[in-house]
Amino acid sequence: MIALSFFAAILPLNTLGHYIHWHFIYISVANFTVVILMIVTFVAALFLPFPGRRRRKENK
Amino acid sequence: MTTKKFRPDVDAPEWKGGHTPYDILKEGTIALAIVLALVIVLAVVFGSPDEKAITLKAWSTADPVDFATTAFSELNGTSTTASYGAPYNHNGPSQQIGPLQLEKWVGVRIPLNTATDFVINPLKALPNEPALDADLVHYQSASSSTRARWFNAYAKGATNMKYRHGTVVVNATGAGPVPVMINDLTTMARSGALDQDLVGGNDFFTTDYTESLLFLSDGQYLANVATEQHLAGDQWGMMNETGNYPGQAWLWLYAFWYQVAPFNNSGNGDALVWGVMMLLSLILLFVPFIPGLRSIPRRLRIYRLIWREHYRDSGGA
Amino acid sequence: MSSEEIDRQWTTRLRRKVAGKLPPEKLLPDTQPSYVASWIYVFGVATLAALGVVIGTGCILALRGPQWWHGSSYGHFVNSLHLWSVEVFMFSMVIHLWGKFAMAAWRGGRMLTWMTGVVLFLASVATCFTGYAIQSNFDSQWITTQAKDGINATGAGAYFNVLNFGQMLMWHIVLMPLVLVLITGMHILLVRAKGVVPPFEDDLVPAAKITRVSE
């Protein structure tokens, strides 16, 4: 039915997981992606300019 | 103004600078809209995993030899659950950290006798089985030395256990009623009746799966499926999810300890890991009070990036 | 009724204490200090927003019961929303934690804000665990049969039986959300009452000349 198929995932991740094995570290590609994304997001948040600088200068 | 010495890692200077207009409700609304949109996109694109639960019926159908072997270990008291100790029984050593034996001190609060609860009582529940009923009476009236003789005989034959034409085949003479009990329990499991019996017991309504889950986890089948999905303890399994989905990545430190000595080869491994994690959690909780630790942010100077506009404006003033 | 009598009432005393610590302009401020100028500041509200979506999708799942999502495409979609909102929640919370540590955000009498935050982090991990335990699928079977050993080792397993689906369900949908919402409320009100932690001043002003915030 069209209504039900609307809710099916486009890219379901149900295939057997891919893993990165380095010495005793064994991490799924999915988890590794999440961790890398977190680090990138944190660093980006630190470096990206925050809008409204002129308004803040006016209110000093 | 207080005359106490200013401690840069504990105290904060009074802000005498400017303020800018800030719409807190608008910020919250925008955050909600963005998060909701992101979640919808992720759900639409990736969905979520749902690997079907393994019933005792499915297990005994897929691997009847593993099931029957496990059933025998429940009967003769050698399974992991049977020899676990607290909180299920008194048959095993409890984990401890030095003199702390918390598991043992709390005691047996979920009492289980695997022979009775997992094998004998379910078999007794089968209707119209006079031969089986007689075997059960024979088993229960036997002395412990007689049963030990039966178990030894069955164990010897069980090394070549086969499953043929709906029957567990074990070449064991002098094993008493044990072969019939194990075979009948396997048949009961393959029919689905054991699933219901272990969950329902004598009650109509129940939501407690302790017995079925313990029985299931005593076998190899569940562990084999989990290992295939990279969920085993030595595979950092606690962090992982079935398929290619991200799991509980925040459990990375908890999973880490299980990969290294002494945690990975100690009988008290779980207790040690929990002890370490509780200690680290307390340290994190009390960071503001721990000299040295609370100085790390000031020494790392990441704050120079966060407040760079303030420092630029103040330094130039 | 004398005014002295009114002053002694629990209601009056509580109202005055709360209003003193958190007057309306602090509860719902319309300005913020100009040093709040970094994207790192958005992760607190992002965590809160994600918590809202987690609870909202959880409520939808509750409408049809814990088995609904196995047999319904719509239910499975709501489950997916719930799972990914949890991932976004933990993602934002950890980045928020990193940011707050980098700022030493406990300074200036904000220790309780930090501590409620840590408690929230730990409580969230526990809530996530009970959530995984009640998926009623293979993953739940494996996670609970593995986790029981660790929890049993602490002695807590005798009372917190992870193999008891009903118990885990009620912890996940009643007890833990109550804890999370109450402590989140405390955490946010503390931020409102104390304000956002000011920058370090050690680089620019000698310590002896800094006016310390009296507590």
Closest residue, chain C, to B47 (C-alpha)? C80
Backbone angles phi, psi at B20, to 5 degrees: -115, 155
Q: Is residue B94 part of a domain?
A: yes
Q: Residue B123 and residue B110: Cα distance in Å, rounded?
A: 22
Q: Residue B140 and residue B150: Cα distance in Å, rounded?
A: 13
Closest residue, chain C, to A46 (C-alpha)? C40
Whether residue B255 is found in the same domain as residue B124 = no
Q: Do residues B83 and B77 touch, judged by C-beta distance below 8 A?
A: yes
Give the position of tokens 């009452």.
Answer: C193
Identify all chain C residues contacting A6, using CB atoms and an 8 Å cutoff: 73
Residue C182: pLDDT above 50? yes
Of C184, C157, C181, C154, nearest in space to C168 by CA: C157
Q: What is the mean pLDDT of residues B134-149?
A: 97
Tell me the pLDDT of chain C averaged across its residues. Answer: 93
Tally of CB atoms within 10 A around B143 = 8
Whether residue B212 is found in the same domain as residue B235 = no
The chains in contact with chain C, meaning 3 or more Cβ pairs closer than 8 Å, are A, B
Residue B262: pLDDT above 70? yes
Give the position of tokens 């129940």.
Answer: B206
The chains in contact with chain B, meaning 3 or more Cβ pairs closer than 8 Å, are A, C
Residue B77: pLDDT above 60? yes
Q: What is the mean pLDDT of residues B218-222?
A: 97
Number of A–C residue contacts, CB under 8 Å: 43
Q: Could you tell me if C46 lies within 8 Å of chain A, comparing CB atoms?
A: no
Band (pLDDT 50/70/90 cuts) for residue C69 is very high
Identify all chain A residues contacting C39, using CB atoms and an 8 Å cutoff: 44-46, 48, 50
State pLDDT tens for residues B174-192.
999 999 999 999 999 999 9
Q: Could you tell me if C71 lies within 8 Å of chain A, comparing CB atoms?
A: no
Cα separation values, B111 from B3, B71, B114, B160, Å: 63, 19, 10, 33
Whether residue B152 is found in the same domain as residue B249 = no
Closest residue, chain B, to C209 (C-alpha)? B6
Q: What is the mean pLDDT of residues B54-75?
A: 98
Q: Is residue B41 part of a domain?
A: no
- Number of structural domains (chain B) is 2
Whether residue B173 is found in the same domain as residue B200 = yes
User: Are the beta carbons of C164 and B208 separated by less than 8 Å?
Assistant: yes
CA–CA min distance A18, chain B (Å): 7
Q: What is the mean pLDDT of residues B84-92?
A: 94
Identify all chain A residues contacting B305, using CB atoms and an 8 Å cutoff: 46-47
Q: Residue C7 and residue C104: Cα distance in Å, rounded?
A: 39
Whether residue B168 is found in the same domain as residue B278 = no
**pLDDT above 70: percentage of residues in chain B:** 97
Tally of CB atoms within 10 A around A40 = 10
- Indicate the residue type of B104: K
User: Are the beta carbons of C73 and A8 separated by less than 8 Å?
Assistant: yes
User: DSSP string of C24-76?
Assistant: HHHHS-SEEETT--SGGGHHHHHHHHHHHHHHHHHHHHHHH-TTHHHH-HHHH
Q: What is the length of chain B?
A: 317
Q: Residue C176 and residue B262: Cα distance in Å, rounded?
A: 33
pLDDT the model gives residue A1 = 44
Q: Do residues A5 and C73 touch, judged by C-beta distance below 8 A?
A: yes
Q: Is residue B45 part of a domain?
A: no
Identify all chain C residues contacting B236, using CB atoms and an 8 Å cutoff: none
pLDDT the model gives residue B93 = 87
Backbone angles phi, psi at B100, to 5 degrees: -80, 110
Instruction: Write the DSSP symbol of residue B253.
Output: H
Backbone angles phi, psi at B122, to 5 degrees: -60, -40
pLDDT the model gives residue B3 = 62
Cα separation values, B95 from B216, C6, C11, C108, C146, Å: 22, 58, 50, 43, 15
Cα separation values, B83 from B87, B109, B128, B186, Å: 11, 15, 33, 22
Q: Do residues C22 and C192 touch, judged by C-beta distance below 8 A?
A: yes
Which helix (H) or strand (E) element contains residue B272?
A: helix B269-285
User: Are the beta carbons of A56 and B18 separated by less than 8 Å?
Assistant: yes
Q: Residue C83 and residue A12: Cα distance in Å, rounded?
A: 14
Whether residue B86 is found in the same domain as residue B98 = yes
Higher-scoring residue by pLDDT: B5, B156: B156
Burial category of C36 from C-beta neighbours within 10 Å (exposed 0-12, middle 13-18, buried 19 and up): buried
Query: Is the preceding peptide bond at B87 cis, omega within 30 degrees of 0?
Result: yes
Whether residue B68 is found in the same domain as residue B174 = yes
Number of H helices, E strands in chain B: 17, 3
How many Cα neighbours within 13 Å face the side chain of B83?
Answer: 7
Least trusted range by pLDDT, from B10-24, B58-72, B212-226: B10-24
Tally of CB atoms within 10 A around A29 = 13
Q: Which residues contact C67 (CB under 8 A, 6 or more apart)?
A: C136
Q: Residue B128 and residue B134: Cα distance in Å, rounded?
A: 12
Domain assignment of residue B60, given as a range: 56-227
Residue C204: pLDDT above 60? no
Number of A–B residue contacts, CB under 8 Å: 95
State which of A1-5, B229-233, C15-19 shows the largest mean pLDDT.
C15-19
Whether residue B209 is found in the same domain as residue B240 = no
Residue A57: pLDDT above 70? yes
User: Are the beta carbons of B19 and A59 separated by less than 8 Å?
Assistant: yes
Q: Is residue B245 part of a domain?
A: yes
Band (pLDDT 50/70/90 cuts) for residue C211 is low
pLDDT the model gives residue B316 = 41
State pLDDT tens for residues C118-154.
999 999 999 999 999 999 999 999 999 999 999 999 9
Whether residue B116 is found in the same domain as residue B222 = yes
Last residue of one domain, picked from the residues B179, B200, B227: B227
Describe chain C by its helix, strand, coil percentages, rounded to 5.
Answer: 75, 0, 25
State pLDDT tens for residues C33-57.
999 999 999 999 999 999 999 999 9
Backbone angles phi, psi at B168, to 5 degrees: -80, 120
Give the position of tokens 């307390």.
Answer: B282
Q: What is the β-pairing status of strands B162-164 and B167-169?
A: antiparallel
Q: Is residue B305 part of a domain?
A: no
Q: Do residues C91 and C83 touch, judged by C-beta distance below 8 A?
A: no
Band (pLDDT 50/70/90 cuts) for residue C215 is very low
- CA C56, C57, C63, C65 dihedral sign is negative
Band (pLDDT 50/70/90 cuts) for residue B317 is very low
Band (pLDDT 50/70/90 cuts) for residue C214 is very low
Q: Is residue B4 part of a domain?
A: no
Q: Which residues contact B193 (CB under 8 A, 6 or more apart)?
A: B122, B126
Tally of CB atoms within 10 A around A13 = 18
Q: Do residues B77 and B114 touch, judged by C-beta distance below 8 A?
A: yes
pLDDT the model gives residue A12 = 81
Smallest Cβ–Cβ distance between A19 and the set B46, B230, B252 belongs to B230
Cα separation values, B74 from B40, B119, B142, B151, C181, Å: 47, 7, 18, 11, 44
Q: What is the mean pLDDT of residues B111-135?
A: 95
Band (pLDDT 50/70/90 cuts) for residue B1 is low
Smallest Cβ–Cβ distance between B222 and the set C104, C141, C213 belongs to C141
Whether residue B194 is found in the same domain as residue B281 = no
Q: Residue B126 and residue B185: Cα distance in Å, rounded?
A: 10
Q: Do residues B77 and B99 touch, judged by C-beta distance below 8 A?
A: no
